[in-house]
Amino acid sequence: MKRVIFLGDGMSDWPVDSLGGRTPLQVADIPTLDLIARRGRCGIFHTIQEGMPSGSATANLGVLGYDAYALFGKREGRGVFEAASMGVELAPDDLAMRVNLIGLDGDRIRTHSAGHITSPEAAELIEFCNARLGVKGVKLYPGVSYRHLLVMRGGRDEVDCAPPHDYVGGRLDDLAPRAESPEAEATAATLRRVIARSREILPGHPVNQRRRAAGKIAAEALWPWAPGRKPEMATIPERFGVRGAVIAAVDLVFGVGVLAGLEPIHVEGATGLHDTNYEGKADACIEALKRLEFAFVHVEASDEAGHEKNAELKVKTIEAFDRRLVARVLDYLRRKRIEAVVAVLPDHPTPVATGAHVIEPVPVALWDPREARDSVQSYDEQSVRAGALVELRGDQFMKLLMK
């Protein structure tokens, strides 16, 4: 029996006025996701534990049945997963953090993504910062687009750091890293120094000069957040006795998968945006299922559309997810008569009304051909509430998937 999770990051939402009071999922033409709901069992899933941050690291850990609080306390620890994805070995006293390249409007955050800067442009800026920051004990590693890694030797993780995607328009001084304990004061001060120095050296870089000349948003600052240390995690092969792969575009999700014992599969043209290579991800999933028992397929596009507060784009990303990725894999399974348990869900909602993650349960549909279907006919935030799965928490979803 094969098993597949199709995860549309941030896909669920609230009713949107411009969509006639319906959510993007309710508006989107998604016959394949509706098919999974109609032939399977549905419900809602609390992917994020109460009191935990509303980040993708916490949520994706929850989807895979991990106790994020036991691993990180009330922190997201995103940088740890970025490091795992990049193959960066962390020492026990290393502090790992996500660091974004952000765009500014004076002393406020204009965009969390520097206008979705390209990876080659970003890599040039990150290497420039490594050479010119002059902040002792700090090293940067380039990632994908605006998403990068900061490692601090001997840093403390008791630091309050604002996720930039949740505070677009916020003042930098109000959001600057702050120590949560006396022992972490030096760490917070170092991170504030990283931000200040980056604001001094980045605006005049040739990459940013070219971006401005082309009418694009410049990457005018580094913004570190989500501190953490490497956790000890039992892998999915150890927990369930299955071998699997993670297929994604962003280092965070690859890192979650690597630490969970999944093989990372990179797809050419996978961007983390609406123009990602959906067909390439589908084909990678198909190839993985020929030799492994489990595939975790993650698509970032709908989350980014939510952060941009673009309801129409979010609808389009959901339709592409359905038609170009999920349908392609299911057609292969049908043609080859391969029995599989198939699940579809987001990791968390990213409402276009706020442009930020929220801690609310997400709609889940789980099609196991060995189980009787329920009465749900379509996949959306409201319809699934009538399903047989009712309300899932903790590792219940993964136990059902791996049964």
Residue range 308-330, pLDDT digits in tens? 999 999 999 999 999 999 999 99
Domain spans of the chain, in order of start: 2-73+232-401, 91-228
Mean pLDDT computed over every residue of the chain? 95
pLDDT in tens, 279-290: 999 999 999 999
Quote the CA–CA distance of 353 and 52 in Å, as a whole number: 22
Question: Does residue 262 contact residue 65 with C-beta atoms inside 8 Å?
Answer: no
pLDDT in tens, 118-130: 999 999 999 999 9
pLDDT in tens, 85-96: 888 999 989 999
Question: Does residue 295 contact residue 244 with C-beta atoms inside 8 Å?
Answer: yes
pLDDT in tens, 51-71: 888 888 899 999 999 998 888
Task: Tell me which amino acid residue 365 is.
Answer: A
Number of H helices, E strands in the chain: 16, 15
Region 372-397: what's the mean pLDDT? 98
Quote the CA–CA distance of 282 and 297 in Å, as a whole number: 8
DSSP string, 209-275: HHHHHTTPPP--EEEEEEEE-PPP---HHHHHS--EEEEESSHHHHHHHHHTTPEEEE-TT--SSTT
Longest dimension (CA), the chain: 62
Quote the CA–CA distance of 242 and 335 in Å, as a whole number: 24
- Return the CATH architecture of domain 2-73+232-401: 3-Layer(aba) Sandwich (3.40)
Region 198-219: what's the mean pLDDT? 98
* Tokens 């534990």, residue located: 49
Structure tokens at 163: 């996720």
Quote the CA–CA distance of 34 and 46 in Å, as a whole number: 21
Distances (CA, A) of 161 to 37, 78, 82, 167, 192: 38, 12, 17, 11, 10
pTM beyond 0.85, yes or no: no
Q: Among residues 101, 6, 12, 22, which one has the least CA distance to residue 302? A: 12
Element (H, E) at 299: strand 294-299
Question: What are the b/e assignments for 145-155, b being 16+ CB within 10 Å?
Answer: bbbbbbbbeeb
Question: Does residue 29 contact residue 319 with C-beta atoms inside 8 Å?
Answer: yes
Q: What is the DSSP letter of 376?
A: -
* Tokens 């913004």, residue located: 223
Confidence class for position 369, pLDDT limits 50, 70, 90: very high
pLDDT reading at 379 higher than 80: yes
Confidence class for position 109, pLDDT limits 50, 70, 90: very high
pLDDT reading at 144 higher than 90: no
Q: What is the DSSP letter of 402?
A: T
DSSP string, 39-76: HSEEEEEE-S-TTS---HHHHHHHHTT--HHHHHTTS-
Region 332-357: what's the mean pLDDT? 97
pLDDT reading at 166 higher than 80: yes
Alpha helices in 147-214 (DSSP H): 172-175, 185-201, 206-213
Quote the CA–CA distance of 27 and 319 in Å, as a whole number: 10
The rounded percent of the chain whose pLDDT value lies above 90 is 87
pLDDT in tens, 249-289: 988 899 999 999 999 999 999 999 999 999 999 999 999 99
Question: Does residue 83 contact residue 148 with C-beta atoms inside 8 Å?
Answer: no
pLDDT reading at 72 higher than 90: no
Helix (H, G, I), strand (E, B) or coil at 148: strand
Confidence class for position 73, pLDDT limits 50, 70, 90: confident
Strand boundaries in 123-167, DSSP class E: 138-144, 147-153, 159-160
Region 367-388: what's the mean pLDDT? 98
